Chain A
């Protein structure tokens, strides 16, 4: 036992002390925060860019009065000569436009928008929607309808989607938030399992190609060496996640206090994200969406605990296999043919998660995948934000532990033989033979 601690110690500190570890630990949260900050500033920037001045030449006569200034657009009216105005446009400030409304506007429905630079899409949309409104009003008027009354018809409905919890309470369900979190978790765990598993494999190959392995296993059992390495690197992973969480939370707090002071920008950023949703009226409807309540509905403690449990369980399971692969080959290029099949069961729920799992998180495919030890780390984490009964989580975790014991036993049998086989190209047949060696 004492010796395995020595091995864990070496594996852990030799990695944590590396400059690259510190770099990744500090850079990744910075990168995320940086993206977050960048989005805010870009939004702010684009808001400023889209503000347009539009000079209107109204040949029809009645249109100009109906155009309304708003925060994106300012209209100005003048009766100077058209050619003169076009000339002015060229020397004009950024995003200055000239809107020419022909006399036959209502019948031809064609206008011209001249601009100093490339015509801005935002400005075009704004102008178009205002003009459509004008045409609509004109038509209502012709049909003898009261435009104001029509506009006041309210066809909005709100769906209060609630889920019934085990205790029978109904709680607000925020599917969009759950989906976002599920995707994030799925990506994070898939990436980290492959990343840290590969590190284990590299460590084994390094020991084998350095030829130190025989020196070490004359002092400790191959199993101790393998487990020491796996646990040591696993702890590196956990350290990294814990540091990431702490750093991200700290930086988030600092930046968001600084940013949310700029209220207008913050609201603008939120509002803009919502525009993507269909329906012309959606902007107003979605502005009511309560982000705070949605985030509150997610149990972050449960999520964090489950993440660590399923990360470490999945890591132990896969890294044992990665260790076996590392022992069977002489260099990393050879390892490719074996890493493909062992990461397959990880890739399947990862790919499925974007469709089947997220759309039907409690369906039979999702449930089965979240129980099978090889796929459960990814599949279960996708499901958890949607709320999974505790007994399922516990069962899945227990199966995962069982699975990891099985793969470790299996991998250890190949590992102990593989590390002493130099220059032998391992085939599947060879591996089976090694597996059957007595000791």
Chain B
């Protein structure tokens, strides 16, 4: 859907984007991740043609990005709002017409959305009479009313209560199912694993990581397991001295113990289990899969002491 090639954006005293290249597959939900100030919003503004890159180019559906593509993009900015004194219905009509819809089409579609979200009665209300959550619903409708092929959501859930967040999330998934490509920009990792199939991580103006979520996570899992066991006959097993694995963490609960281990090279989980089975009563074995959160923290902080991620 979107091919971003070697984008550079330079402001007078800092470089917002430094040679960023990305591929957003058609029909995907693409997570654009990064800490505040990493350059996400700069990139999004370039995709929306609000600003232009200093160098590099973007291909939209195979064509070089052009002003005509604006009508095929829906954008919900992080800094968003509505005209306070204008009636909701009029405001929606105005925004939809700016996206190229005819007045009649716009009216029909807005009404359909309002019915769907059960907010028909808001048509003649003014924005100042709505709560913040209500305003966000309206803004969401304004973003998608022209049925864009590419929907860009910058922190869409900030300010939503859990019920409405769930509602909007379902709508996003439904739009995606109908064929829309979605770019979801956030620094909240919990929702990323739930929603995204592909991600890119931007830090300090540079892309540091991208690809399908599963693949990225797999590349980060490195033979780590949590083993829960109970001591046999009161003998505390010794894990020291074995070359099979390395203990990362040890925890004792009231009736059992839990160790996190990393299997050393050339060994397998089977070897370890064989070793342990004679000493303890194994209750549970789990493979440690790093969460996106861990990967994010690891990449952003650049620290090597993250216990779940092994730097070879």
> Hey, which bits of chain A sit against chain B, CB under 8 A?
3, 6-7, 10, 14, 206-207, 210-212, 214-222, 420, 422, 433, 436-439
The smallest C-beta distance from B66 to any residue of chain A, in angstroms, reads 13
- A24 vs B86: C-alpha distance when bound (angstroms): 21
B94 within 8 Å of A by Cβ?
yes
Q: Is the CB of A436 within 8 A of B12?
A: yes
- A437 vs B52: C-alpha distance when bound (angstroms): 10
Q: Is the CB of A210 within 8 A of B83?
A: yes
B205 within 8 Å of A by Cβ?
no
Q: Is the CB of A215 within 8 A of B48?
A: no
What are some 19 contacts across the A-B interface (CB < 8 A)? A6-B97, A210-B84, A211-B77, A211-B80, A214-B75, A214-B77, A214-B80, A215-B76, A216-B98, A218-B75, A219-B70, A219-B95, A220-B98, A221-B67, A420-B45, A420-B50, A436-B12, A438-B52, A438-B54
Q: Is the CB of A6 within 8 A of B80?
A: no
Q: Is the CB of B79 within 8 A of A214?
A: yes
The smallest C-beta distance from A21 to any residue of chain B, in angstroms, reads 13
B99 within 8 Å of A by Cβ?
yes
B56 within 8 Å of A by Cβ?
no
Q: Is the CB of B51 within 8 A of A6?
A: no
- List the B side residues contacting A214 at CB < 8 Å: 50, 75, 77, 79-80
Given the known interface contacts A10-B94, A218-B73, A436-B12, the answer about A212 and B52 at a Cβ–Cβ threshold of 8 Å is no
7 cross-chain pairs, A with B, having the tightest CB-CB distances, nearest first: A211-B81, A439-B52, A219-B98, A214-B77, A210-B81, A218-B75, A218-B48
- A206 vs B128: C-alpha distance when bound (angstroms): 13
Q: Is the CB of B99 within 8 A of A215?
A: no
Set B84, B86, B95: member contacting A216, Cβ < 8 A: B95
Q: Is the CB of A219 within 8 A of B99?
A: yes
- List the B side residues contacting A10 at CB < 8 Å: 94
B82 within 8 Å of A by Cβ?
yes
The smallest C-beta distance from A412 to any residue of chain B, in angstroms, reads 14
Q: Is the CB of A433 within 8 A of B12?
A: yes
- A84 vs B185: C-alpha distance when bound (angstroms): 102
- List the A side residues contacting B83 at CB < 8 Å: 206-207, 210, 212
- List the A side residues contacting B51 at CB < 8 Å: 439
B139 within 8 Å of A by Cβ?
yes
- A163 vs B61: C-alpha distance when bound (angstroms): 73
B142 within 8 Å of A by Cβ?
yes
Interface residues of B in 27-49 (CB under 8 A from A): 45, 48
- List the A side residues contacting B99 at CB < 8 Å: 219
Closest to A3 in B: B98
Set A7, A220, A422, A438: member contacting B79, Cβ < 8 A: A422
Given the known interface contacts A6-B94, A210-B82, A438-B52, the answer about A215 and B12 at a Cβ–Cβ threshold of 8 Å is no
- For B, the interface residue count at a CB cutoff of 8 angstroms equals 29
Interface residues of B in 76-133 (CB under 8 A from A): 76-77, 79-86, 94-95, 97-99
Given the known interface contacts A6-B94, A436-B12, A439-B51, the answer about A14 and B77 at a Cβ–Cβ threshold of 8 Å is no
- List the A side residues contacting B80 at CB < 8 Å: 211-212, 214-215
Set A14, A215, A422: member contacting B139, Cβ < 8 A: A215
- List the B side residues contacting A215 at CB < 8 Å: 75-77, 80-81, 95, 139, 142
Interface residues of B in 1-25 (CB under 8 A from A): 11-12
The smallest C-beta distance from A233 to any residue of chain B, in angstroms, reads 15
- List the A side residues contacting B142 at CB < 8 Å: 215
Closest to A18 in B: B85
> Hey, which bits of chain B sit against chain A, CB under 8 A?
11-12, 45, 48, 50-52, 54, 67, 70, 73, 75-77, 79-86, 94-95, 97-99, 139, 142
- List the B side residues contacting A206 at CB < 8 Å: 83-84
The smallest C-beta distance from B65 to any residue of chain A, in angstroms, reads 13
- List the B side residues contacting A3 at CB < 8 Å: 98
- A7 vs B51: C-alpha distance when bound (angstroms): 21
Given the known interface contacts A218-B70, A433-B12, A436-B12, the answer about A212 and B54 at a Cβ–Cβ threshold of 8 Å is no
The smallest C-beta distance from B111 to any residue of chain A, in angstroms, reads 20
- A18 vs B94: C-alpha distance when bound (angstroms): 18
Closest to A7 in B: B98
The smallest C-beta distance from B144 to any residue of chain A, in angstroms, reads 13
- A7 vs B73: C-alpha distance when bound (angstroms): 20
- A217 vs B142: C-alpha distance when bound (angstroms): 14
Closest to B10 in A: A438
- A220 vs B50: C-alpha distance when bound (angstroms): 9
Q: Is the CB of A212 within 8 A of B97?
A: no
Q: Is the CB of A211 within 8 A of B98?
A: no
Give 13 A-B pairs besides A214-B80, A420-B45 with Cβ atoms closer than 8 angstroms: A6-B98, A10-B94, A206-B83, A211-B77, A211-B79, A211-B80, A212-B82, A214-B50, A215-B77, A216-B98, A219-B99, A220-B98, A221-B67
- List the B side residues contacting A210 at CB < 8 Å: 81-84
- A420 vs B80: C-alpha distance when bound (angstroms): 11
- List the A side residues contacting B73 at CB < 8 Å: 218
- A171 vs B205: C-alpha distance when bound (angstroms): 75
- List the A side residues contacting B85 at CB < 8 Å: 14
- List the B side residues contacting A14 at CB < 8 Å: 85-86
The smallest C-beta distance from B211 to any residue of chain A, in angstroms, reads 28
- List the B side residues contacting A436 at CB < 8 Å: 12
- A211 vs B76: C-alpha distance when bound (angstroms): 11
- A437 vs B9: C-alpha distance when bound (angstroms): 11
The smallest C-beta distance from B225 to any residue of chain A, in angstroms, reads 47
The smallest C-beta distance from B299 to any residue of chain A, in angstroms, reads 28
- List the A side residues contacting B76 at CB < 8 Å: 215
Closest to A217 in B: B50
The smallest C-beta distance from A211 to any residue of chain B, in angstroms, reads 3
- A214 vs B77: C-alpha distance when bound (angstroms): 7
- A295 vs B217: C-alpha distance when bound (angstroms): 88
- A433 vs B139: C-alpha distance when bound (angstroms): 33
- Residue among A10, A220, A437 with the highest chain B CB neighbour number at 10 A: A10
- A420 vs B86: C-alpha distance when bound (angstroms): 22
Closest to B81 in A: A211
The smallest C-beta distance from B215 to any residue of chain A, in angstroms, reads 32
The smallest C-beta distance from A8 to any residue of chain B, in angstroms, reads 12
- List the B side residues contacting A6 at CB < 8 Å: 94, 97-98
Closest to A9 in B: B94
- List the B side residues contacting A433 at CB < 8 Å: 12
- A212 vs B76: C-alpha distance when bound (angstroms): 10
Closest to A211 in B: B81
- A14 vs B85: C-alpha distance when bound (angstroms): 9
- A6 vs B76: C-alpha distance when bound (angstroms): 21
Closest to B82 in A: A212
- List the A side residues contacting B82 at CB < 8 Å: 210, 212
